[in-house]
């Protein structure tokens, strides 16, 4: 099945990604009223409308600003480069479980669009200003959890704990990453024993 290439088709047929395309069961048609309201807001802000990834995308100053989407349970407006946004209204959610920065507003009732219209306009304006200025979003920091086996080893070995906490954050993360790659707890314990001298020496997991 071919995905749409004309933005208007999204609002009358859907995206073309699944067998529900152009049927009453298509999510884009189920949520059509709300999606059209979001489209109107974006157009009123002077954003250029195009289609990318088979969805309506709104652009300004050569940069993607926002994209519309719909699933069975909700329809949504997702902001591009959400790391630049100040979520003063506290309405943004992560787009998915692997999203580093919240940047999506989900709707379950078309009336919610009108209620949030001032917030949506303000957030679009923020990103339009950043696009004009060429501002780049900050790189999100990825957080890697300390394995339980390492925490236990540090609790039991004061010298190791002191040396580990003296390491730079990057060197600490190198051990977290290395140990978390091991599937078995016994493997992680064995690696910690091998790493002890390296940690005492103030080195990272991959340093010689």
Residues 44-102: tens digit of each pLDDT: 999 999 999 899 999 999 999 999 999 999 999 999 999 999 999 999 998 765 456 89
Determine the number of helices (DSSP H) and then strands (DSSP E) in the chain.
9, 5
Q: Please tell me the distance from the alpha carbon of residue 76 to that of residue 74, in angstroms, as a whole number.
A: 7
Q: What is the pLDDT of residue 97?
A: 53
First-to-last alpha carbon distance for the chain, in angstroms, is 53
Q: What is the pLDDT of residue 145?
A: 82
Q: Please tell me the distance from the alpha carbon of residue 195 to that of residue 203, in angstroms, as a whole number.
A: 9
Which tokens sit at 194? 């091998």
Q: What is the pLDDT of residue 188?
A: 92
Q: What is the pLDDT of residue 124?
A: 98
Q: What is the pLDDT of residue 137?
A: 84
Q: Please tell me the distance from the alpha carbon of residue 145 to that of residue 83, in angstroms, as a whole number.
A: 22
Contacts of 14 (CB under 8 A, 6+ apart): 4, 20, 21, 22, 26, 27, 28, 29
Q: What is the pLDDT of residue 51?
A: 94
Q: What is the pLDDT of residue 20?
A: 93
Q: Please tell me the distance from the alpha carbon of residue 23 to that of residue 21, in angstroms, as a whole number.
A: 6
75-110 b/e with 16+ CB inside 10 Å = b? Answer: bbbbbbbbebbebeeeebeebeeeeebbbbbbbeeb
Do 81 and 58 form a contact (C-beta atoms < 8 A)? no
Residue 55 dihedral angles phi and psi, to the nearest 5°: -135, 155
Q: Please tell me the distance from the alpha carbon of residue 166 to that of residue 30, in angstroms, as a whole number.
A: 56
Q: What is the pLDDT of residue 142?
A: 59
Q: What is the pLDDT of residue 78?
A: 93
The one-digit pLDDT tens for each residue of the chain (208 residues) are: 588 999 999 999 999 988 999 999 999 999 999 999 999 999 999 999 999 989 999 999 999 999 999 999 999 999 999 999 999 999 999 876 545 689 999 999 999 999 999 999 999 999 999 999 999 887 765 567 888 999 988 888 888 988 898 888 889 989 998 998 898 999 999 999 999 999 999 999 988 7
């Amino acid at each position: 099945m071919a995905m749409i290439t004309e933005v208007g088709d999204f609002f009358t047929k859907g995206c073309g990604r699944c067998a529900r395309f152009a049927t009453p069961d298509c999510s884009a048609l189920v949520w059509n009223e709300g999606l059209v309201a979001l489209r109107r807001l974006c157009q009123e802000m002077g954003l250029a409308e195009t289609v990318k990834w088979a969805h309506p995308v709104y652009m300004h100053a050569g940069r993607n600003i926002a994209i519309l989407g719909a699933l069975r349970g909700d329809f949504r407006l997702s902001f591009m480069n959400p790391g630049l946004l100040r979520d003063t209204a506290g309405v943004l959610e992560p787009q998915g479980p692997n999203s580093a920065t919240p940047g999506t507003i989900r709707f379950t009732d078309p009336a919610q669009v009108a209620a949030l219209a001032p917030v949506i306009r303000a957030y679009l304006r923020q990103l339009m200003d950043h696009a004009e200025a060429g501002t780049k979003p900050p790189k999100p920091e990825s957080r890697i959890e300390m394995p339980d086996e390492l925490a236990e080893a540090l609790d039991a070995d004061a010298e190791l704990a002191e040396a580990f906490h003296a390491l730079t954050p990057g060197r600490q993360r190198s051990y977290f990453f290395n140990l978390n790659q091991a599937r078995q707890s016994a493997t992680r314990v064995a690696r910690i024993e091998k790493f002890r001298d390296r940690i005492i020496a103030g080195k990272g997991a991959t340093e010689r």
